[in-house]
């Protein structure tokens, strides 16, 4: 009979083999199509776009392309632990590494652009909010179904994963198939649908940190979410939005799409709203 360590290793191997077969990777270990990307713009302004928890830059491609079409330089980094192997997720999927990656990406854009807007989806929205809080020069923030707190079901999943960590390092992410309603967009998604206890703990850390600073926020904030979001309820989203201290803020509701609104049926509505919000708070080019 296998001992506990051997059983855990066997379970881990099955998860890792399944994921590698489903999400082929390039020679550098990145899932094909999940690479970070940057689109160089022409209007002298930039947008740092952050993907969500357990997702990849691929989910932000349409929004980034639309922003670039308006002249913006757009940078979509791959958050540590995301878009690679499950081993990488377990090793690098932590709150402090995500915060450093966002800070570094913002600094790079600021070296060449006087105006850098922030946009994030899901956990990326929480990270964008934390970065905007630390940067007094940020003119506008767009949040797409952001984790500005930890919903009950995610708190429970985080607790359960921690309790089961001695037995398995990985867990299936429940309900991910409902995050995108558009079947074509869902087929293109590159998230693993598998989480680790450490990554879930990192999400909780980020969500708690951002929840605490919301009343002190001052940057103009646009909050967009679907009423059919499978991750964040209407009541939670309403509560999070009301907690934002910015004097200029707006909450817009969508219908007919799930949690990953940047890639779902409502993706052009999202892009139109983000572009209009950024333009509203811009001065002369440069």
132 has a pLDDT exceeding 70: yes
Q: Give the pTM.
A: 0.95
CB-based contact 71:38 (threshold 8 Å) = no
Pairing mode, strands 45-50 and 115-121:
parallel
Residue 261 is assigned to a structural domain of this protein: yes
Q: Which domain holds residue 114?
A: 4-280
- Which is higher by pLDDT, 166 or 62? 62
CB-based contact 86:194 (threshold 8 Å) = yes
Residue 143 is assigned to a structural domain of this protein: yes
For the residues 150-178, what does the mean pLDDT come to?
Answer: 79
β-bridge mates for residue 226, sequence order? 254
For the segment 30-54, what is each residue's pLDDT rounded down to a tens digit?
A: 999 999 999 999 999 999 999 999 9
286 has a pLDDT exceeding 60: no
pLDDT at 285: 44
For the segment 241-275, what is each residue's pLDDT rounded down to a tens digit?
A: 999 999 999 999 999 999 999 999 999 999 999 99
CATH number at 147 reads 3.40.50.1820
- What is d(CA 252, CA 80) in angstroms, rounded to the nearest whole number? 30
175 has a pLDDT exceeding 70: no
- What is d(CA 54, CA 170) in angstroms, rounded to the nearest whole number? 13
CB-based contact 99:120 (threshold 8 Å) = no
CB-based contact 93:82 (threshold 8 Å) = yes
Helix (H, G, I), strand (E, B) or coil at 258: coil
Residue 286 is assigned to a structural domain of this protein: no
Residue 285 is assigned to a structural domain of this protein: no
Instruction: Say how many residues make up the chain.
Output: 286
1 has a pLDDT exceeding 60: no
Q: How many domains does the chain have?
A: 1
- Strands (DSSP E) contained in 31-187 are 37-39, 45-50, 73-76, 115-121, 141-144, 171-172
């Amino acid at each position: 009979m296998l001992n506990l360590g051997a059983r855990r290793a066997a379970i881990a191997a099955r998860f890792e083999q399944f994921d590698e077969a489903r999400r082929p990777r390039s020679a550098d270990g990145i899932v094909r199509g999940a690479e970070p990307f940057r689109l160089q713009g022409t209007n002298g302004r930039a947008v740092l776009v952050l993907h969500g928890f357990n997702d990849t830059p691929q989910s932000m491609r349409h929004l980034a392309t639309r922003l670039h079409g308006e002249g913006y330089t757009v940078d979509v980094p791959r958050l540590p632990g995301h878009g690679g192997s499950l081993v990488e997720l377990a090793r690098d999927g932590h709150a402090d590494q995500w915060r450093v990656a966002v800070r570094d990406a913002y600094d790079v854009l600021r070296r060449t652009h006087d105006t850098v807007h922030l946009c994030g989806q899901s956990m990326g929205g929480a990270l964008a909010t934390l970065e905007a809080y630390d940067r007094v020069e940020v003119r506008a923030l767009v949040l797409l179904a952001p984790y500005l707190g930890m919903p009950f079901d995610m708190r429970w999943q985080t607790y359960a994963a921690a309790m089961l960590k001695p037995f398995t390092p990985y867990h299936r992410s429940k309900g991910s198939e409902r995050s995108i309603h558009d079947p074509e967009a869902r087929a293109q998604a590159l998230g693993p649908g598998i989480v680790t206890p450490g990554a879930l703990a990192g999400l909780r850390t980020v969500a708690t940190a951002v929840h605490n600073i919301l009343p002190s926020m001052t940057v103009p904030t646009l909050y967009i979410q679907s009423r059919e979001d499978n991750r964040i309820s209407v009541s939670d989203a309403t509560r999070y939005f009301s907690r934002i201290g910015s004097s200029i803020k707006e909450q817009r509701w969508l219908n007919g799409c799930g949690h990953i609104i940047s890639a779902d049926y409502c993706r052009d509505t999202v892009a139109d709203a983000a572009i209009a919000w950024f333009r509203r708070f811009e001065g002369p080019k440069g």
